[in-house]
Amino acid sequence: MVYIWAGLGAVEPAFRTVSDAADEGIRVLMKTPPSLADLGLAIGVAYGLRARPTVAVLVGLAVALHPAVIDVSALFGQYESIYVMFGLGAFLLAVNGHPRLAAVALGLALMTKPQALPFVAPFAAWSLATLGWRETARLVGIGLAVVVVTWLPFIPFGGPAGYLRSLEAHQNDLFAVLSLRAWNPWWILQSAAGGDFLGDSRAILGPLTPRHLGLVAFGLLELVVFAWVYRRPTPTVLAWALAASSIAAFLALTTMHERYAYPVLVFLALAFPDRRAVAVWIAFGIVFTVNLLAAVPPSDVIGDLLPSGGVLGLVGSIAMTAIGAAIFIEFRRAARLSDGP
């Protein structure tokens, strides 16, 4: 992220010292990297589906023009698309026989945002199943080298330690709640308790807090993801796995923002033209878009129409949980097929 902002500062020196987004030019500049990444995602998805040219073009356009994609990047200037773009690059490189370059791309995804962590289990299972332990160890080394190289300029100034302190402060103080307007099971619990943001660090089951329970649930789901990819390491299964792992984090973990489900929209598209994948993708896209608009309404009118709490939030959370279950069901079906891509 700092490298990207340094580039923006080189393009527009005023960006280096700006303290707010009042200037329209600065806002446009800030939103340019994720918007370009959105185009990269659309092109990458189309490339992944290139065996069916018509499908590839249509799905690529559907990703580029999806309301959720426009909302996250062009409207609110969030950078989710950048780490997802690196994750998509890792997928395309891995399934096309370039695992070491895929490890570089995955390392860059992890260094962009920690929300890329759910990508690790699917790629680890893929690597072990297709390349074996020795090559997987080399890939881990490559990924760690990427981590070190990207941090090198900042180490003398305490960059890694400062980053960890910031991460801890955000997770244990500012954002230490069950759900940050993400429609998931924690939002249902939070709404049932009155609708206010509830802390996730109070023990509710012996010494276990909601955060502990979420981590346990996510860990178990990741074991399932790993096992199914390892059983049948095909490109389609890997695409389902990346979508399943991302939705598992969104549904199971506390402190989730609504936009953290963004990778699901991209990786589900790689399972096309399977009709089930299309149906799940459409359903997810609708609920995800409504969640985004309700969480941070772009206008008072939309805020009045789509309140994030109440009945809409409850229905949306149930729908998102059901979609997550459908993703795992279809992922399991794909992993058990004896034939296919």
Contact 38, 9 (CB under 8 A): no
pLDDT of 310 higher than 60: yes
Contacts of 224 (CB under 8 A, 6+ apart): 328
Supply the DSSP string of 28-85, one letter for each residue. HHHHHHHHHHHHHHHHHHHHHTTTSHHHHHHHHHHHHT-HHHIIIIIIT---HHHHHH
Distance of CA 128 to the CA centre of its chain: 23
Residue 303 domain-assigned (yes or no): yes
pLDDT band at 247 (very low <50, low <70, confident <90, very high): very high
Residue 259 domain-assigned (yes or no): yes
pLDDT score, position 46: 97
pLDDT score, position 21: 62
Listed as own residue / partner, the contacts of 126-134 with beta carbons closer than 8 Å and 24 or more positions apart are: 126/94, 126/229, 126/233, 126/238, 126/241, 127/94, 127/99, 128/230, 129/229, 129/230, 129/231, 129/233, 130/99, 130/233, 131/99
Contact 55, 100 (CB under 8 A): no
Residue 80 domain-assigned (yes or no): yes
Tokens of 50: 């290139």
Q: Report d(CA 201, CA 212) in Å as an integer.
A: 8
Q: Which domain holds residue 107?
A: 2-336
Residue 341 domain-assigned (yes or no): no
pLDDT band at 196 (very low <50, low <70, confident <90, very high): confident
pLDDT tens, 3-54? 999 999 998 888 888 766 667 888 899 999 999 999 999 999 999 999 999 9
Q: Report d(CA 112, CA 90) in Å as an integer.
A: 14
What number is the average pLDDT over the span 329-336? 95
Average pLDDT along the chain: 92
pLDDT tens, 91-112? 999 999 999 999 999 999 999 9
pLDDT tens, 112-153? 999 999 999 999 999 999 999 999 999 999 999 999 999 999
Residue 314 domain-assigned (yes or no): yes
Q: Report d(CA 238, CA 122) in Å as an integer.
A: 7
pLDDT band at 339 (very low <50, low <70, confident <90, very high): very low
- Amino acid letter, 275: R
What domain count does the chain have?
1
Q: Which of 71, 254, 78 is nearest to 170 (CA)?
A: 254
- pTM greater than the 0.85 cutoff: yes
Give strand pairing partners of 273: none
What number is the average pLDDT over the span 232-238? 95
SS3 label, residue 256:
strand
pLDDT tens, 218-232? 999 999 999 999 999
pLDDT score, position 22: 67
Residue 220 domain-assigned (yes or no): yes
pLDDT score, position 341: 41
Tokens of 120: 């690790």
